[in-house]
A and B are shown apart, each in its own frame.
Chain A
Amino acid sequence: MKWGRDVVQLVMWTAAVACVSPLLSLIMLAFSAQWPFPHLLPSLFTADHLAKLLLSPRLVEAVTTSLALALLTTVATLLLVFPAAKAAGLYRFRGREALKLLALMPVMVPAATVTMGLHYFMIRVGLAGTMLGVVIVHTVFAVPYAFRILMYVFEIMGEQQEEQAAMLGAGPLMVFSAVTLPLVMPGMVAAATMSFVISFSQYITTFIIGGGRLLTVPLLLVPHVQGGELHAASVYSLVFIFTALAALVLLRAVVRHYYRETYFLNP
């Protein structure tokens, strides 16, 4: 028992170090002025790369667009996925297995294939190069994950709590807001986090559907990486990571606040 816990601890720490160490080298790279070959640490630090980037007007545009896309994608995904996940998680009906499989399709087929097909369609209906078009394509890739997460949450919740609420005389609105939503809220947060991160890190889909008219952080980042500009790429990566992290922390804080306020403090 004790031994088993030590092994778990070891694995966790290894994983943590594996996750954080690339970040450390990224930070050093972003702030290094000189980092000659045999040295473990940079010999000279500078904030020039960061300053140059922060002053560039395109950064603000990219971060804003990325955040807006991610937020809209998250909302669209949750709205789409909630009823479907509830049906698949709680009710037995014909075609339930087919629905589960169908919802996974977009991530089983290569992203470029799906996107090319959607691109053709979006050109015809005039959505190519628009915010809405990009939100749609991001949503397509976020739905499978969010659907899976929420479906399992509904399966665990079961029907009994909603039935109990109805027997106590609650109408559909009260059942939803006072029972269903709070009970699946942890799953909603997980699904929202997933959707947000998926949208935030999209490159090829934004590139194809946005047609270069929408500038996101990954679109700024990738050319620098390919062009071998390591310092600039590192700074962009940091911006990328910390924007995403900040947004997620904020999302969780807002949900937790809402959760407590409504259900734990004000009966």
Chain B
Amino acid sequence: MARITLVGVAKAFNDKQILDRLDLDIKNGELIALLGPSGSGKTTLLKLIAGLDTPSAGRIEFDGSDVTEVSTRHRQAIIVFQDHCLFPHLTVKENIAFGLRARNEPRATIDRKVDEILEVVQLPGRQNSLPHALSGGEKQRIALARACVLKPRVLLLDEPFSNLDVNLRFSMREFVVSLQRVLKLTCVLVTHDKEEAFVMAERVAVLLDGRLEQVDTPENLYDRPKNKKVAEFLGEANFFPGVMADGVFSCALGSFATPWQDTRQAVGMVRYDNVQLRRHGGITLGKIKDKVFAGRYIFYKVALAAGGELMASCKESFTLGDAVYVSCADHAMQVYGDS
């Protein structure tokens, strides 16, 4: 368990910049999610932290001491991969005991620790199973046990649940969060799934094209994405070109008081669920053009009378062709410089 600090970490392959001077401070015992689309450099960053690869520039610190030159073997940073990577020729017990054997711990200690961690991951009595006899969720739990039994300084999870079916994924998320709290592990979760990042992590770091665009709590990230790129990536966002003047942003949706004092071309962003649709009373008129039922919400595509379209999600039921008034609270409007 350690505090992890990345200072100006960069990585390039054949002149192609994969990671661009990242600074990140991960607190001791924190579960942070590294969120980004595939190809954004998430796994590369994980490999740098684990020492499977070396950064082209910058340094990595564990508890304030530079580990950039420390070998993988001695770094005590363990990745749990998506495909669990259990050793197929070793039993569950041998798999979990692997790292303890590497440390030359006495046999009795190894036996005790293996039994203990199997209790923790709720698979007692599976010592002598071979990996191929386990289900997907069980394999993943054994892989977690194999890493956790060593009390690593940081546990790195590389899309650990994407091979599991939906229900299992939900229970594994809960399981990992409680495991991380019980063992007080510093934990980095790599994922491309926004929901997974929001549900599990205390803080989320958004990685786009090798840059850390925003590191924030899930709430802040969702409500106040720092720029258009992050808002676009997080999805379910409407964008309106408009003009800023004296702190008021004017666009097709109306005028909004904002805390910003820019006077130039700008783009406003409103999340689908921050758009209100009403049958009566409002200024901006629109017409329901399309409707998709998605369980928790109904998604509507609304054509504005003044031109343009937007998306809204709510529980109320409208039918195609209904005339609706569209509005949005001032604080729900995020405004970015037009770039």
Contacts and interface: CB of A to CB of B under 8 A. Distances in A.
Interface string A155-183: 00000110111111111001000110011
Contacts of A161: 85, 87
B97 interface: yes
Interface of B is mostly: mixed
Contact of B99 (A160, A168, A267): A168
B48 interface: no
A242 interface: no
A183 B88 contact: yes
Contact of A167 (B50, B88, B103): B50
Contacts of B146: 168
A263 B90 contact: yes
A172 to B, nearest CB: 8
B244 interface: no
A167 B72 contact: yes
A267 B103 CA distance: 15
A163 B102 contact: no
Contacts of A264: 89, 91
Interface string B86-114: 01111101100111011100000000000
Interface residues of A, number: 20
Nearest to A179: B87
Contact of A267 (B51, B91, B147): B91
Contacts of A179: 87
Interface residues of B, number: 31
A5 to B, nearest CB: 24
B105 to A, nearest CB: 11
Contacts of A174: 101-102
A87 B101 CA distance: 28
A165, A167, A170, A259, most chain B CB atoms within 10 A: A167
A169 B102 CA distance: 6
B52 interface: yes
Contacts of B73: 166-167, 169-171
A161 to B, nearest CB: 6
A253 B99 CA distance: 30
Nearest to B127: A267
B79 interface: yes
Nearest to A170: B102
Contacts of A166: 52, 71-73
B76 interface: yes
Given A169-B150, A267-B91, A267-B94, A164 B102 contact: no
Contacts of B78: 167-168
A169 B51 CA distance: 12
Contact of A168 (B88, B93, B102): B102
A167 B91 contact: no
Nearest to B50: A167
Contacts of A259: 89
A163, A168, A183, A264, most chain B CB atoms within 10 A: A168
Interface string A251-267: 00000000100011001
A164 B85 contact: yes
B51, B78, B97, B102, most chain A CB atoms within 10 A: B102
Contacts of A171: 73, 102
A183 B89 contact: yes
B325 interface: no
B77 interface: yes
Given A160-B81, A170-B73, A171-B73, A165 B98 contact: yes
A167 B93 contact: no
Contact of B52 (A163, A168, A170): A163
B52 A167 contact: yes
B2 to A, nearest CB: 15
Name the 4 nearest CB pairs between A and B, nearest first.
A168-B99, A169-B102, A166-B72, A170-B102
Interface of A: 160-161, 163-171, 174, 178-179, 182-183, 259, 263-264, 267
Given A167-B73, A167-B77, 7 more contacts: A166-B72, A168-B147, A171-B73, A178-B87, A178-B98, A263-B90, A267-B94
5 contacts: A161-B85, A165-B98, A167-B52, A169-B74, A178-B87
